[in-house]
Amino acid sequence: MKQEYVYRAFERFWHWMQAALIVFLGVTGFEIHGSIRFFGFEQAVTYHNVAAVSFLVLIVFAVFWHLTTGEWRQYVPTWKNLKAQAQYYVFGIFRNAPHPTRKTVLSKLNPLQKLVYAGLKVLVIPIMVVSGLLYMFYRYPQRNQVLSLNIGSLEVIAVLHTIGAFLLVTFFIAHIYLVTTGRTVTSNLRAMITGYEELEGDPDDNKAPRVSHEPALSK
């Protein structure tokens, strides 16, 4: 094993800010939905809107960072070892089986993680953002009048937003569990705090240089 700098400073900042904002949006959103009581309805609406705008700003910076650093390639799905990875999480991990993929700085995510994260980034979160903006601005003030978007009913938008929220909650719970499945219970968490993680080195790195005992060929 060797210590590697896997997660850069902005990557860690973005990860923790995103987690905090999603949790806060979930709490205030479910209170607006009437599922829980914590801040009070009016305060929950205000806090939810502020957190939503903050989340949009974070998304803009994150998209810019991923594009300029090339880190977006980490999320490109692949079918290679996908079945083996799924079997590992369902059965192998409980039998102390070896991990089917090797984590590196250039490939931080296993095939199943790539597929799930890509789905979140191109499907779930865009749905949440678009439906949330429609919710916020379907009626908006314009000088001395209030204009409305050409939307017959917000029911479909509300259902999509709620489904997206439950998908994020499901992902969050699964993510918390999978954090504990590293080399130790806290190794993945520690890596996302410090940026450093112990990764399996290339077996060839530990091999002694080969010495040839063959006689030199004469001219």
Shortest CA distance to 3 belongs to which of 204, 162, 201?
201
What tokens does 99 get? 């991990």
Q: Which residues of 102-123 are buried (b: 16+ CB within 10 A; e: fewer)?
A: ebeeeebbbbbbbbbebebbee
- Split at pLDDT 50, 70, 90, the class of 148 is low
What is the distance between the alpha carbons of residues 45 and 80, in angstroms, rounded to a whole number?
44
Number of continuous H segments (helices) and E segments (strands) in the chain = 7, 4
In tens, the pLDDT along 6-51 reads: 999 999 999 999 999 999 999 999 998 888 898 999 999 999 999 9
pTM over 0.95, yes/no: no
The three-class DSSP label of residue 132 is: helix
Taken in order of first residue, the domains within the chain and their CATH numbers are 2-201 (1.20.950.20)
